[in-house]
């Protein structure tokens, strides 16, 4: 398995674990991020989306679908921009800094793996 595939596989596993946790124990997940507990259904729906995306990422890694590698990086950058904008506009507070850190870490890991991979493995769509 190439380095880039390992980074994508790891992200997929993380998303599945997060998603399943949001489905099964949503109050604990929300509390872990420092937010008040809620019984709203939205957290479980977000968990479903997270788990499904995780399955997609695992397939991208297993099949080495290089056309989607750069899209993963673009997704991380979009997520980072949105989260920073949420803080700057007071939509969210500093409690999401941990999430921003892990998003940045995942993005940088994939970028590093792409840069250390042979050029033919990195193709834009």
Query: Where do the structural domains in the chain lie, given as residue ranges?
Result: 3-121
Encode pLDDT of 48-99 as tens digits: 999 999 999 999 999 999 999 999 999 999 999 999 999 999 998 898 898 9
Number of C-beta neighbours around residue 110 at 10 A: 23
**pLDDT value for 79:** 96
Q: Calculate mean pLDDT across residues 23-35.
A: 88
Encode pLDDT of 94-124 as tens digits: 988 989 999 999 999 999 999 997 765 555 5
Looking at per-residue pLDDT, the higher value among 25 and 122 belongs to 25
Q: What angle is formed at CA 80 by the lines to CA 34 and CA 114, rounded to 5 degrees?
A: 125
């Amino acid at each position: 398995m190439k380095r880039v595939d390992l980074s994508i596989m790891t992200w997929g596993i993380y998303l599945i674990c997060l998603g399943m946790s949001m489905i099964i124990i949503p109050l604990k997940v929300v509390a872990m991020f420092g937010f008040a507990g809620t019984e709203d259904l939205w957290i479980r729906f977000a968990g479903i989306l997270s788990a499904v995306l995780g399955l997609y990422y695992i397939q991208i890694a297993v099949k080495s679908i290089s056309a989607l590698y750069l899209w993963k990086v673009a997704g991380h950058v979009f997520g980072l921009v949105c989260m920073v904008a949420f803080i700057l506009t007071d939509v969210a507070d500093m409690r999401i800094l941990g999430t921003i850190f892990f998003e940045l870490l995942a993005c940088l890991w994939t970028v590093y793996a792409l840069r250390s991979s042979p050029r033919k493995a990195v193709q834009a769509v």
